[in-house]
Amino acid sequence: MEKLAVLGCGVVGSGVVELFEKNKQLIQKRCGKQLELAYILDLRDFPDKPYADKVVKDIQVILNDPEVSVVAECMGGVNPAFDFVKSCLEAGKSVSTSNKELVAAKGDILLKKAKEHDCNFFFEASVGGAIPIIRPLHKCLAANEFSAIAGILNGTTNFILNKMIKENMDFSSALALAQEKGYAEKDPTADIEGYDACRKICILSSLAFGKHVYPESVYTKGIREVELKDAKFCGQLGYSIKLIARVQKLDNGKILPAVLPMAVEEDNLLSQVNGVYNAIMVRGDGIGKAMFYGKGAGKFPTASAVLGDMIEQLQLEHTCISQTWQNIHDNSFIENFASFAAKYYFRTSSADVHQLTEIFGEIQEKTISTDEEETVFLTASPLNERELDKAVKTLAQNHIQVLAKYPVLES
Amino acid sequence: MEKLAVLGCGVVGSGVVELFEKNKQLIQKRCGKQLELAYILDLRDFPDKPYADKVVKDIQVILNDPEVSVVAECMGGVNPAFDFVKSCLEAGKSVSTSNKELVAAKGDILLKKAKEHDCNFFFEASVGGAIPIIRPLHKCLAANEFSAIAGILNGTTNFILNKMIKENMDFSSALALAQEKGYAEKDPTADIEGYDACRKICILSSLAFGKHVYPESVYTKGIREVELKDAKFCGQLGYSIKLIARVQKLDNGKILPAVLPMAVEEDNLLSQVNGVYNAIMVRGDGIGKAMFYGKGAGKFPTASAVLGDMIEQLQLEHTCISQTWQNIHDNSFIENFASFAAKYYFRTSSADVHQLTEIFGEIQEKTISTDEEETVFLTASPLNERELDKAVKTLAQNHIQVLAKYPVLES
């Protein structure tokens, strides 16, 4: 008999407890062990729940029980989660977490700690909720050199953009609806401004490229400024505006992670990912491209990922070497966002094809949508930040004002 | 230093060798070991290849070298692959295979053999080529009770159907093009008749539900009879015809695997999977649904999956318990296809809504496409095989001939 413990009995933690109890027979069979969910750490009591008698208030109870081999951390936030997880690892107990903030801020330290104590720090649930992505990246695709990852990693913003694109709702109304449905928090900053997606692309980048990428090193722009009319015009040109978290490996060997709203071509499956679903496209030299799709959040989807980690941890006797990365505080392996280059969608004040062609060379869409004296077009060639600035200045000299611009996701 | 061996140096085997040598540094880092690809078993010589000196003709050379711990089987076919793999496992060497025929026919025996000798028989490459699906199913999603799997598991038939749907090409021309491009074999029977997809759904069903499902137990219908006009009419109704390999768990606890052409609604991401790509949708009580997408075949995509298995095998000290199933020759856990129920797309000789409504109750599409005195419609309710037979007979009594029918994939 091995004992499990869950830290934090909020949405995800209670999901872990309930899904475990529901599928206990199946889970025991799949990991070949008799299991008992022995402790739930929470400051609250849950007198009406069947697991009321498992609730403890002191982490020491869990740390001091040698029969507890695997712990789920579902508290969220960096503190006190970091201290608790560190203590568990130091006691040789493997930890599975759903806490992306913790992994993005302290993953390198905790992975090192796990290795020192020959146990495991797993975090499948921290990116993409139910979607298997961490294990596929470092196991199934371990023979690949990765060249790029691009994903829809935040369901709240995807829901909002979807309502704008498909139902003509403006940003504020769509946000209000997301809050009403419980998809967005009262303070939606972390979602709307892209911070949540940023943490997740940090985790994927660290794993794929082997060095810790901190959120502070990643250019991050949210969706607050996305206007309904751009969602509509993009649609007319065959594109959807999506909040994309992406990283690419450049020819100079550096990586360029970023989070920003991008125009995604309708042929690209990512453009078809609707509502609160997430999806992640991975490119590697062996596979070409592969995509992973599923529910990016929610009680049972996230619990499924936490428990999947625990089931593997129960079968492992040592630290899993492929799921780790270096802690490097020198971030010279990260390219500055100034090097980011993409084709662009532009909405400008009225302009004619002749003027635009003079400024941009060829432009991709000969048919230019116009509305209220505005012009919408796509550039045929990629522009980096310097070229973009120059183009905006030249437009201004020609009395053409840039009203909106979005980079186009490479297909 | 650990030694690797590759059995069979055809398309996949040579891909394994080349991808390994290309990314050797990365692979060694990810599995934490120094590696040497020591032997390639093939009857042919490859004097012009850089790996010419590794070629051996006798499996005993590999079996007798105690430093060889992991072997890739890329020969294809059941014999002699089965004997070679069995001998490797008996010698305690883990085997990774891309051979779906072998896994579907002998997976249970080989998994048992691996367990007896505390090594591993892995087969990520046998389903979906580059797509991580085997490991996600038994690891990431191990806390789920699975309710259904449905996939596009054969790239050749998907390419052909795609050409019919998008480019108005008839079946024979599309098949000829697939052969010209090297996507279809000279004898395309295994693809066209659904046998290849059948082997793959057998493997997924066995893994998800824990008992070996043999191809003989699975209702299998290919795409030879798909007519261009149904591809077109389906499109007009918002559906695509796809060769779907699927399995569902029924309320009576039995499973119902089948391979057949189905009408897939455009909202379903599976309908957007084009060309030689594969995709697999998985449903479980924790995750809801998740989808996995990528290249279903090809030299390097398949090699990527084989090497991913080998990299994990190099890190494992014991048999992976979650990736196994029982060998049960009693197939009473498999429901007869007569219980299969779905809504149906029908193309019949001319009929009016009144007649059809009398026969089927409600029909889903009020707007009925007609062409050349034919009628196309969707039923509003699912029909099982008995109800389907009855409906066809009633239609005949009303002098309405059924010209084509396709079940609709549940959304």
**Which residues are registered as beta bridge partners of A3?**
A36, A68
Residues B111 and B35 in one domain: yes
Minimal CA separation from B20 to chain A, in Å? 7
Q: Which of B136, B143, B318 sits opposite A19 (nearest CB)?
A: B143
If you average pLDDT over every residue of chain B, what do you get?
94
CB-CB neighbors (< 8 A) of A136 in chain B = 132, 135-136, 140
The model's pLDDT over B257-292, given as tens digits with 9 standing for 90+, comes to 999 999 999 999 999 999 989 999 999 999 999 999
B393 belongs to the catalytic site: no
Q: Which of B131, B145, B320 sits opposite A290 (nearest CB)?
A: B131
Reading the block at residue A269, the tokens are 């499956």
| DSSP H stretches of helix in A43-170 | 59-63, 81-90, 100-116, 134-135, 155-167
Distance CA B72, CA B76 (A): 11
Q: Which of A131, A140, A291 sits opposite B135 (nearest CB)?
A: A140
Count, residues in chain B: 411
SS3 content of chain A, % helix, strand, coil (to 5): 40, 25, 35
Reading the block at residue B153, the tokens are 């598991």
Residues A164 and A291 in one domain: yes
Q: 10 Å Cβ neighbour count for B336?
A: 11
Question: What mean pLDDT do residues B294-321 have?
Answer: 96
Does residue A6 lie within any of the structural domains?
Answer: yes
The model's pLDDT over A55-105, given as tens digits with 9 standing for 90+, comes to 999 999 999 999 999 999 999 999 999 999 999 999 999 999 999 999 999
Q: 10 Å Cβ neighbour count for B45?
A: 11
Q: 10 Å Cβ neighbour count for A21?
A: 12
Q: Pick the residue from chain B with its C-alpha nearest to A141.
A: B308
Q: Which of A141, A292, A311 sits opposite B304 (nearest CB)?
A: A141
Residues A23 and A162 in one domain: no
B409 has pLDDT over 90: yes
Considering A200, A242, A295, A343, which one is annotated as catalytic?
Answer: A200
A328 has pLDDT over 90: no
Mutate to test the interface with B, among A144, A309, A324 (most CBs of B within 10 A): A144
CA angle B303, B304, B310 (to 5 degrees): 90
Residues B54 and B141 in one domain: no
Residues B34 and B78 in one domain: yes
B366 has pLDDT over 70: no
Contacts of B190 (CB under 8 A, 6+ apart): B196
Q: In 3D, which of A117, A275, A99 has the Cα closest to residue A199? A: A99
Reading the block at residue B112, the tokens are 């048992």
CB-CB neighbors (< 8 A) of B311 in chain A = 139, 142-143, 322
Distance CA A114, CA B91 (A): 33
Does residue B58 lie within any of the structural domains?
Answer: yes
Contact A230, A239 (CB under 8 A): no
A296 has pLDDT over 60: yes
Considering B113, B163, B200, B343, which one is annotated as catalytic?
Answer: B200
Specify the amino acid at residue B84. Answer: F
Q: Pick the residue from chain B with its C-alpha nearest to A134.
A: B140
Q: Which of A132, A287, A295 sits opposite B301 (nearest CB)?
A: A287
Reading the block at residue A247, the tokens are 């990283």
Cross-chain residue pair A32–B303, CB shorter than 8 Å: no
A365 has pLDDT over 70: no
Minimal CA separation from B305 to chain A, in Å? 6
Cross-chain residue pair B322–A31, CB shorter than 8 Å: yes
Contacts of A168 (CB under 8 A, 6+ apart): A228, A232
| DSSP H stretches of helix in A98-219 | 100-116, 134-135, 155-167, 171-180, 189-192, 195-209
Reading the block at residue B146, the tokens are 């699975």
Cross-chain residue pair A301–B288, CB shorter than 8 Å: yes
Q: 10 Å Cβ neighbour count for B266?
A: 14
Distance CA B196, CA A123 (A): 35
Q: Is the dihedral of CA B102, B106, B111, B116 positive or negative?
A: negative
Q: How many Å is the Cα radius of gyration of chain B?
A: 23
Distance CA A22, CA A33 (A): 16
Mutate to test the interface with A, among B6, B12, B30 (most CBs of A within 10 A): B30
Distance CA B284, CA A308 (A): 13
The residue ranges of DSSP E strands in B250-334, in sequence order, are 255-265, 277-284, 288-295
Alpha carbons within 13 A on the beta-carbon side of B11? 12
Which residue reads 């090699």 in tokens?
B303
Minimal CA separation from B273 to chain A, in Å? 8
Peptide bond into A188 cis (omega under 30): no
Question: What mean pLDDT do residues B144-173 have?
Answer: 95
Cross-chain residue pair B320–A315, CB shorter than 8 Å: yes
Residues B244 and B289 in one domain: yes
pLDDT band for position A357 (cuts 50, 70, 90): confident
Residues A354 and A370 in one domain: yes
Cross-chain residue pair A304–B143, CB shorter than 8 Å: yes
Minimal CA separation from B287 to chain A, in Å? 4
Contacts of B348 (CB under 8 A, 6+ apart): B374, B375, B376, B377, B395, B400, B401, B402, B403
Does residue B253 lie within any of the structural domains?
Answer: yes
* Alpha carbon distances (Å) from A253 to A151, A256, A336: 21, 10, 13
A317 has pLDDT over 60: yes
Does residue B397 lie within any of the structural domains?
Answer: yes
Reading the block at residue A362, the tokens are 């060829």
CB-CB neighbors (< 8 A) of B284 in chain A = 304
Cross-chain residue pair A317–B315, CB shorter than 8 Å: no
Residues A113 and A63 in one domain: yes
Q: Is the dihedral of CA B363, B366, B367, B371 positive or negative?
A: positive
Residues B110 and B142 in one domain: no
Q: How many Å is the Cα radius of gyration of chain A?
A: 23
| DSSP H stretches of helix in B253-377 | 299-315, 353-360
Distance CA B361, CA B228 (A): 28
Which structural domain, as residue segments, surrounds residue A397?
340-407
A122 has pLDDT over 70: yes
- Give me the pLDDT at residue B175, please: 95
Q: In 3D, which of B296, B200, B280 has the Cα closest to residue A132? A: B280
Does residue B329 lie within any of the structural domains?
Answer: no
Cross-chain residue pair A286–B304, CB shorter than 8 Å: yes
Cross-chain residue pair A304–B284, CB shorter than 8 Å: yes
Cross-chain residue pair A304–B144, CB shorter than 8 Å: yes
Q: Which of B20, B272, B287 sits opposite A304 (nearest CB)?
A: B287
Q: In 3D, which of B155, B110, B101, B111 has the Cα closest to residue B130? A: B155
Reading the block at residue A116, the tokens are 């020192």
B361 has pLDDT over 90: no
The model's pLDDT over B12-50, given as tens digits with 9 standing for 90+, comes to 999 999 999 999 999 999 999 999 999 999 999 999 999
CATH value at residue B165? 3.30.360.10
Residue A58 burial (CB < 10 Å; 0-12/13-18/19+)? exposed
* Alpha carbon distances (Å) from A314 to A200, A325, B321: 26, 22, 11
Mutate to test the interface with A, among B140, B152, B277, B299 (most CBs of A within 10 A): B140
Does residue A324 lie within any of the structural domains?
Answer: no
Residues A362 and A228 in one domain: no
Q: Which of B30, B301, B321 sits opposite A142 (nearest CB)?
A: B30
pLDDT band for position B186 (cuts 50, 70, 90): confident
Reading the block at residue B88, the tokens are 């490797």
- Give me the pLDDT at residue B367, please: 55
If you average pLDDT over every residue of chain A, what do you get?
94
Count, residues in chain A: 411
Distance CA A16, CA A14 (A): 5
Does residue A218 lie within any of the structural domains?
Answer: yes
Q: How many CB pairs under 8 A join A and B?
A: 196
Residues B151 and B60 in one domain: no
B107 has pLDDT over 90: yes
Residue B128 burial (CB < 10 Å; 0-12/13-18/19+)? buried
Question: What mean pLDDT do residues B117-127 have?
Answer: 98
CATH value at residue A359? 3.30.70
Q: In 3D, which of A246, A58, A304 has the Cα closest to residue B289? A: A304
A369 has pLDDT over 90: no
* Alpha carbon distances (Å) from B207 to A22, A247, B134, B254, B323: 20, 34, 8, 15, 7
- Give me the pLDDT at residue B268, please: 95
Contacts of B152 (CB under 8 A, 6+ apart): B158, B242, B243, B244, B245, B270, B273, B277, B278, B279, B280, B296
Contact A377, A352 (CB under 8 A): no
Question: What mean pLDDT do residues A119-132 have?
Answer: 97
Total number of domains in chain B = 3
Q: 10 Å Cβ neighbour count for B354?
A: 7
The model's pLDDT over A222-270, given as tens digits with 9 standing for 90+, comes to 999 999 999 999 998 999 999 999 999 999 999 999 999 999 999 999 9
Does residue A327 lie within any of the structural domains?
Answer: no
Residues A212 and A243 in one domain: yes
Which residue reads 């769509």 in tokens?
A174
CATH value at residue A48? 3.40.50.720
Cross-chain residue pair B301–A295, CB shorter than 8 Å: no
CB-CB neighbors (< 8 A) of A317 in chain B = 317-318
Distance CA A264, CA A161 (A): 12
